[in-house]
Structure formats: C-alpha cells, structure tokens
Structure 1
Amino acid sequence: MEYILAVIEEKSITKAAKRLYITQPTLTKYINQLEDEYGVKFFDRSTTPIRLTEAGQLYVEKKKMMIEEERSLRSQLKSIEDKKITLTIGSGHTRGEKFLPYALKQFCDLHSNVDFCITFPDEIDFYKKLKSGAIDLAFGVIDVTNNMDIEYLEMTVESMGIVVPTEWGFLPQDADPSLTFQHPLPITADMLNGRDVIIPGRSTGADITFMEMLSKYNIQFGRVITANNMIILRELIQYGLGYSFISVNKQIPRNCILCSMPGISSKRSGRCAYIRSHPHVELLRELSGMIFQSIKLLG
C-alpha cells in the first residue's frame, strides 16, 4: 500500500521510486504484479501525470479502510492485555482538527486509563463503522434516521451552499458579493452547465447532496477537481478553479458569491454518535458532552 500511495502523491512512478529508495523497474514490477493479481489496471499510464483508474480509486479506498480497521483491532487487543480502555474516534477532518484536542484534554485529565485512536474515515461510512466496531464514536455528519441502535448528541447545524467565483460575472458589477451571504443569489442549472467544478470528496460529508444536485438538474461540467478537505475546497474556489457546495457557517470565501437553487438542502447537522449498547456508553456520553462544550467555547 505504501508503494501505491507514493505513486499517487508523487504522480510519477519514477519520482515515487526515488522517494521509496528503490529502482523504477522494481516499483513498476510491483504495480504490474498487483494489477495482474486483481485482473484490473490501477493506474492510467496514458496520462501525464499518471493517475488512478476507477478500479484504482476503489482499491485505495478499501485498503485504507482495512488498514484503519486493523490498526483499531490491534489497539483494542492491546488494551485488553493492558487492562486499559481504548476508544476509537472517527471524525470529519475540519471538526476534528478544531474541536477534538481541547475536548480530549479535558477528558484525559479525568480518565487516565483511557487511550484513544483518532481516525478520519469518510463520513458516509460512519454508521457502518460504528456497527462493525471499527470506531466507537462518530463526530461529524451521520444520518441517524431509522437507526434506533444509535444514540447521538446534536453538535452543530451548518449552513451549506453553492459557492461560485465572483469573476464568473453572475452578479452585476456594482453589486456587493458579501451581501449574498445573507441573501444567496438564485441561479439556474444553465448558469452552471459546462463550468469547472470542485466536487467534495466522500470524507467531507457534502458529496451526496452535491451529486444529487448535479443529477437532479442534469448539470454537465468542464474540468473536475475532487478534494476531501473543506479548507482546500474553499481555497480552490477563491482562486476561480470552479464552483462547489460547501459549509458557509460564518462567511463565504473571498472573491466568491453564495448561490441557491430550488430543492437543494441548505442545512446539515453535525453530531456525536455511538451504539446505544456500547460497553463504554457512559464514557462516550461524557466525551460527547465535552466535545459539545469545546464547540461552544471555540465556535
């Protein structure tokens, strides 16, 4: 897996081989053998830079999940041996970076016998991972509809919206783009057709609504960029690289306007969730409360 990730990150087999301190033929042979084993091509070598095929994307996604679950299993087994408790938290990237450190500091001061494993899986997989035991607590966007085995605490209600670069000229020249934060500009699908798009990755929790919008209105697009981090998404839009569907709780990115389309959800809930029958449910309730306090404090 390390070899595959190196090629993805370096976008070149030659550069990846140098990084791994192996020869380029050795790395090429490894990739070829892996592709022969699965009977599919993981990389499209006809493009520059080299990129993953659809099969390659699926392989990497599933392998990351397996590695994460193996790490969690080892941690849990070790905690049994050491008579300690290990809790695995699955979090969205932005929320986790901002709110977990403070909450964990408060929790750890009270519970010296609890270890933690913090992971950042795709938020769409939160429920499945809770059910399988891969994570003990989900912190982010999780659908609790009809999931009676889930106990949860509402954390945030986020405003979501279609954000478009100002340079596209949707607003009159004398209009103030910042006013669209309170009064989003109504747009039509035709205004987005053929435009460059930045698609939220699975780990952002925003991809489902966005893809539903594209499908509902049959929107075609030009260049496609996929990003798994909301901070990067905002930066890409600011530089005019495309439009996207992002969280706009406090402000919209600079050089951008906020737009709306009929039938597109503008709200989503962030939650802490866990299995109601979890053996350490009281600890999970306590930790969820501390995360809530962290959000109130750090906002």
Structure 2
Amino acid sequence: MPERLDYIVAIVEEQNITRAARRLFITQPALTKYINKLEEEYGIILFDRKSSPITLTEAGRVFLEEKTRIEIAEQNLRHRLEALKNSNVTITLGIGHDRAPRWVPKLLQEFCRRYPDINFMIKGAGELSLPDKLRSGEIDIAVGVFESNEDNMEWRYLTVEKLRLLVPLSFGIFPEGFSPEESVNHPYILKPEQLNGLDYISPAITMGAYDSYQVLRQLYSLHIGRQITTTSARTIRSMVIHDLGYGYGVVGSASNLQDENGVFKAGCCILPGLPTRRFTRAAYHSNHRHVELLRDFTDILERQIIKGCLPGSIYWKDYQNEEPLFV
C-alpha cells in the first residue's frame, strides 16, 4: 500500500481525524481506512484514538521519524542524480560585492572542474538583501553576513571577521606611542566624544556593516561632520587612509591601514557597545531540488577557507574568542 506521510502529519498537527480529512480534501472514513490498513500492515498502533486530542503512540512516533528520514534521503538522491545528468542546471549564487572578487574565482575553479556541465550565475548584492533573494528564489545559495529566521534552511558558518572603527592618524586622536600595526589585534578603546565633529564614511543600508552604524548612532549622540556613503567596504577603507573620514568595517590585516606606498595612515579602534566581530555564513533551502550540489559547493568553499586561501578571514572553528563580542 502506498504510504502517505502527509496523511499522518495532518493528523498529528490537527490532532483530530475529521479536521485532518478536511485539510487533505478527503473523507473522514477514507482517512480512517487508510490508517487502519497501515497499522494492520506493520502490526502496530500509530495513534491513541481513545485520547482527546488524538496523539501518536511511541511506535507511531518512531514510524513517522524513520519514514520521514527515508523519504528525505530518497528525495536528495533523486535531486542529486537529476543534477548530475541535466546539463542545463544553473546554480545562482548571491554574495556580497566585496567578497565576490576574493572568494568566487578559486571556488568556481574547483566546482566547475567537478561539475563541468553545471552553469553558474553570480549576483553581487547588498548582504542584508540576501535573505529576501533566497526566499523569493532569485538565488539558490547566499554567502555573506546576514540573519534570517527562514524555515527549512541549512546554515554553514564560514569565517569570523574582526570589526573595527578605522580612524585616520591625521585626526590626532591616538596617544603617543600608538602602533597602527598592533592595533589590528589590540585596538585603541575610544571615548565617544573623541569622534564629535569628525567626518564619517557610512556603509550603505544594504551592507552588513550598516547595523553596526545604526548601533553607533543610537548609543551615542555624536555630531557627525560631513558624511560620505558607499556600498563598498574596500572603498570605506580606502577613503579612511586618504583622510576623508573614519569608518566602521572589517580589518583583515595591517595592510588595510596602509596606503599604496606601504605607509600607515590609519589605526584600529573599538567603541564600547559596538560589536567587535561578525560571522559569515552560507545558507540554502534544505528542500532545494539541487541541495546536494549546494552542499558540495559549500564544502569546497569551506576547504578554501581552511587552507587559508581567503585573506583577511579566520576559519570560524579556529577562532579562539580572544576578545569579547562587545567591549
């Protein structure tokens, strides 16, 4: 007899056979007959129908768990085989503008070597928009800094990035003997009033760093001089070292504080109440028809990170929590 797990799930969720039958658009006798035959076939009692509301028996719980696991495995196998034989499959990656040129080329070299018949589309995007694009199906997998409460989602933590306020040395706020190079790992702790009146390089609303900018404005009543807004973290760092303002973002190494001649032009700071790190993640729907391809894609990306192919990032499992999330 064909097994209809949706019938069992409907009864579990509705806790009533009549309501479950109505939800399934079948008659109550037909649903009862199906359950009776299933129990007879397996020699077990699936539901305690004497109780109100109806509940699964222990045997019924084990049956549903195992059959669900088997069904998911079967679906994944079919999806994987379909992806391997279908030369027209296209995977669409949504990734932050700044990560794309650093992460994607090496990633696709290996992926395309393993799957030569799979097409690929890359959509650079503001990271805060990635959950919506994933939800709508515009992209198949998202990589970056973002949060989402979406159901049926598989997540993979990838890296930890150090967040810092970058301030030009020319602003004169650092004490005597301050070392820009050492400030990457041992940032200078600012007093909020030291920033009053200074020009600010602001992340665009679509960027992952925008949330931190909002916290900065909410915690402190800072008077900001001129404000320049950009959609690029690289541009923020570049404008800071050219004395156009201070900015908030990721610092991977001391070279991020140097100009084109290797001269230090900025230092790293932290401000009480602002986060000092953030996590990058990969996410995709667990019921995606090519979920095995997406898992392999993420495996390849994770191997790159472990091998140290991605400058400025710390593999999240290697992160030692050497500093608190907030100061």
**TM-score w.r.t. length of structure 2:** 0.63
Counterpart Cα distance in 1 of 2:279 and 2:189: 23
Q: What letter matches 1:285 in structure 2?
A: R
Matched with 2:98 is 94
Q: Paired residue for 2:279, among 269, 272, 290?
A: 269
**Distance (Å, rounded) in 1 between the aligned partners of 2:192 and 2:247:** 13
- Give the distance between the partners of 1:87 and 1:176, measured in 2 at CA: 46
What is residue 213 of structure 2 aligned with on the other side? 210
Runs of 4+ in 1 over 3 A off after TM superposition: none
**2:130 maps to 1:126:** yes
The yes-or-no answer on 1:103 pairing with 2:113 is no
Selected match of 1:289 from 281, 289, 299? 299
**One-letter amino acid of the counterpart of residue 144, structure 2:** G
CA distance in 1, matches of 2:160, 2:177: 33
Q: Distance in 2 between matches of 1:93 and 1:232?
A: 11
Superposed displacement of residue 104, structure 1: 1.0
CA distance in 1, matches of 2:299, 2:239: 34
Q: 2:15 aligns to what? A: none
Q: How many residues align?
A: 218
Give the aligned residue type for 1:217.
Answer: Y
User: Aligned partner of 2:111: which letter?
Assistant: F
Q: 3-state DSSP class of the match of 2:199?
A: strand
2: distance between equivalents of 1:147 and 1:221? 37
Structure 1, residues 159-212: CA drift from partner, whole Å, max 9, x if none? 101110111111234432323222211112211122100001244311111122
Partner residue, 1:135: 139
Structure-to-structure mapping, 1:146-185, within 5 angstroms: 146-185=149-188
Query: What's the offset of the Cα at 1:120?
Result: 0.9
User: 1:72-111: CA deviations, max 9, x gaps?
Assistant: xxxxxxx9xx961111111112221112111111111121
In structure 1, what residue type is equivalent to 2:147? D
Deviations 1:17-72 (A, max 9, x none): xxxxxxxxxxxxxxxxxxxxxxxxxxxxxxxxxxxxxxxxxxxxxxxxxxxxxxxx
Letter in 2 for 1:262: P
Q: Deviations over 1:214-270 (max 9, x none)?
A: 222122211111111121111100011000101013224121111111111111111
8 Å CA contact 2:87, 2:118 repeated in 1: no
Amino acid at match of 1:90: G
Q: Secondary structure at the match of 1:221?
A: coil
What's the CA shift for 1:294? 2.2
More helix by share: 1
Quick one: distance in 2 between partners of 1:182 and 1:253? 13
CA distance in 2, matches of 1:175, 1:133: 49
Secondary structure of 1:94's match?
A: coil
> Contact between 1:87 and 1:115, CA under 8 Å: does it hold in 2?
yes
1:281 deviates by 0.7
User: Residue 99 of structure 2: SS of its match in structure 1?
Assistant: helix
- Map 1:19-98; keep pairs closer than 5 Å: 84-98=88-102
Aligned equivalents of 1:172, 1:187: Cα separation in 2: 11
What code does the residue aligned with 1:263 have? G
- 1:120, 1:89 → 2: CA distance? 8
Distance in 2, Cα, partners of 1:112 & 1:186: 51
Q: Does 1:116 align with 2:116?
A: no
Structure 2 residue matching 1:195: 3-state secondary structure: coil
Query: 1:260 aligned to 2:263?
Result: no
**CA–CA distance in structure 2, aligned partners of residues 177 and 284 of structure 1:** 40
Give, as a single letter, the amino acid of the residue that structure 2 aligns with 1:103: L
Q: How does 1:176-255 map to 2 (within 5 A)?
A: 176-251=179-254, 252-254=256-258, 255=265
- Percent identity over paired residues: 31
The aligned counterpart of 1:280 is 290
Question: Which segment is superposed worse, 96-105 or 237-246?
Answer: 96-105
Indicate conservation of the 8 Å contact 2:166/2:247, yes or no. yes
Distance between the aligned counterparts of 1:292 and 1:189, measured in 2? 38
Please, which runs of 5 or more residues in structure 2 have no aligned partner? Answer: 1-82, 259-264, 311-327
Larger Rg: 2
